[in-house]
Amino acid sequence: MNQMTIGLIPSPDMPNKITDKIKDTLAEDFSKVIDDQIDWDIETHVASMVGTAEHMDKTMDIISNMKKQKEWDIAICITDLPSISDNKVVLSDIHTEKKTALLSLPALGMWNVKNKLRHFLTYLVHYIMKPGEEEQLISKKHFRFSKIDEVQPDEDSDQKETRLILKSVVSGWSHLISGMTFANEPWTAIFDFKKIISVSFATGAYITIFSTPWDMTLYYNYWRFILLMILSIVGMTVWLIYAYQLWETPSPSTQRLYRYVYNLTTFMTLGSITVFNFIALFILLTLSTMLFVPPWLYTHMTSLKSLPSLLDYFNLIWFMTCISILAGALGSTVENAEKIKRVTYSYRQYYRYEQLEKEREEEETEGESYNDQENYEGKKQSHSEEGAS
pLDDT for residue 52: 59
pLDDT tens, 157-188?
456 788 899 888 888 999 999 999 998 888 88
pLDDT for residue 1: 64
Residue 137 in domain: yes
Residues 10, 136 within the same domain: yes
Across 116-122, average pLDDT: 91
| Helices 169-183 and 14-33, packing angle to 10 deg | 120
Residue 386 in domain: no
Residues 28, 170 within the same domain: yes
CA distance 204 to 331: 13
pLDDT for residue 89: 92
Residues 48, 102 within the same domain: yes
pLDDT tens, 260-276?
898 999 999 999 989 99
Residues 68, 196 within the same domain: no
Binned at pLDDT 50, 70 and 90, residue 380 comes out as very low
Residue 108 in domain: yes
Nearest residue to 179 via CA among 118, 263, 265, 103: 265
The mean-pLDDT minimum among 42-46, 201-205, 209-213, 348-352 falls in 348-352
Residues 275, 297 within the same domain: yes
Contact between 119 and 105 (Cβ < 8 Å): no
Residue 350 in domain: no
Residues 161, 30 within the same domain: yes
Residues 56, 161 within the same domain: yes
pLDDT for residue 373: 38
Residues 96, 236 within the same domain: no
Residues 36, 55 within the same domain: yes
Contact between 346 and 252 (Cβ < 8 Å): no
Residue 103 in domain: yes
Residues 242, 326 within the same domain: yes
Measured CA to CA in angstroms, residue 264 lies from 11, 79, 185, 322 at distances of: 22, 19, 15, 23
381: enclosing H helix or E strand: none
Residues 27, 149 within the same domain: yes
Residue 387 in domain: no
Residues 275, 323 within the same domain: yes
Q: In sequence order, what E strands does 112-236 have?
A: 148-153, 161-166
Residue 348 in domain: no
Where in the sequence is the domain holding 214, given as residue range(s)? 185-343
As a whole number, the mean pLDDT across the chain is 80
pLDDT for residue 365: 60
Residue 51 in domain: yes
Is the model more confident about 371 or about 315? 315
Nearest residue to 281 via CA among 377, 205, 345: 205
Across 23-31, average pLDDT: 92
Contact between 254 and 248 (Cβ < 8 Å): yes
Q: What CATH number does residue 12 fall under?
A: 3.40.390
pLDDT tens, 53-98?
656 677 888 899 999 999 999 999 999 888 888 889 999 999 988 9
The mean-pLDDT minimum among 107-116, 150-159, 169-178, 252-261 falls in 150-159
Give the global pTM. 0.81
The mean-pLDDT minimum among 132-146, 187-201, 269-283 falls in 132-146
Contact between 375 and 367 (Cβ < 8 Å): no
Say which DSSP state 382 is in: P
Domain count within the chain: 2
pLDDT for residue 374: 37
Say which DSSP state 302 is in: S
